[in-house]
């Protein structure tokens, strides 16, 4: 029984180490390559010319697919991750088709910020080395991980182990737990 427990514990430590490497390396890769992923404009139809009229804003799904293909080459993200990202772009595209925006030059509704890291991606990507895994839950070949960069910059990653060899990221999201606690604490102490 003791032998079995030490094997399981050793595998868990190895998984945790591989997960941390995957997350850190992905963040480094994204910081380095984000600007190179888009080989052609995803959004077309900006009206930069005050004389020309009838310019309709639209999402070019062919460019989205090229972007996602470049993203896939990283080998850090799963097809599920890419499918979810494509669905976001498709939803925005469908909305722009249903409700056209004409002669517009400004942030595209739904694309006002980095889809992965929000309005201030540098707050995460500029502090990768300070981050640490604070919670890891492993169930078979799935992992749910909380990655803390600072007290208020925390991410949640969902990963899958493929071919019993390497971990890939299925999703990432912001964890607002500490920010919510601070806001609630402040609202309860205010007069």
- pLDDT tens column, 121-156: 777 788 788 888 999 999 999 999 999 987 768 899
Convert the pLDDT of each residue in 41-50 to its tens digit. 888 876 555 5
- Which pair of structure tokens corresponds to residue 77? 């993200």
Report residue 87: phi and psi, to 5°: -60, -35
Residue 20 has pLDDT above 60, yes or no: yes
The model's pTM: 0.81
| Cβ burial, residue 185 (10 Å; 0-12/13-18/19+) | exposed
- Residue linked to tokens 């010319």: 49
Least confident range of 13-22, 71-80, 90-99, 146-155: 146-155
């Amino acid at each position: 029984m003791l032998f079995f427990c030490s094997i399981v514990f050793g595998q868990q430590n190895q998984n945790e180490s591989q997960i941390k490497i995957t997350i850190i390396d992905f963040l480094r890769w994204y910081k380095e390559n984000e600007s190179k992923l888009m080989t052609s404009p995803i959004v077309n139809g900006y009206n930069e010319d005050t004389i020309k009229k009838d310019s309709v804003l639209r999402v070019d799904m062919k460019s989205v697919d090229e972007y996602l293909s470049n993203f896939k080459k990283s080998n850090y993200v799963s097809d599920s991750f890419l499918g979810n990202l494509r669905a976001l772009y498709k939803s925005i595209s469908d909305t722009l088709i249903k409700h056209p925006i004409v002669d517009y030059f400004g942030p595209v509704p739904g694309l006002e910020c980095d889809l992965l890291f929000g309005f201030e991606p540098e707050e995460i990507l500029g502090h990768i080395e300070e981050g640490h895994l604070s919670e890891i839950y492993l169930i078979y070949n799935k992992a749910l991980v909380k990655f803390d960069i600072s007290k208020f910059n925390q991410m949640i990653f969902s990963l899958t182990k493929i071919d019993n060899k390497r971990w890939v990221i299925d999703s990432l999201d912001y964890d607002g737990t500490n920010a919510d606690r601070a806001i609630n604490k402040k609202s309860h102490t205010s007069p």
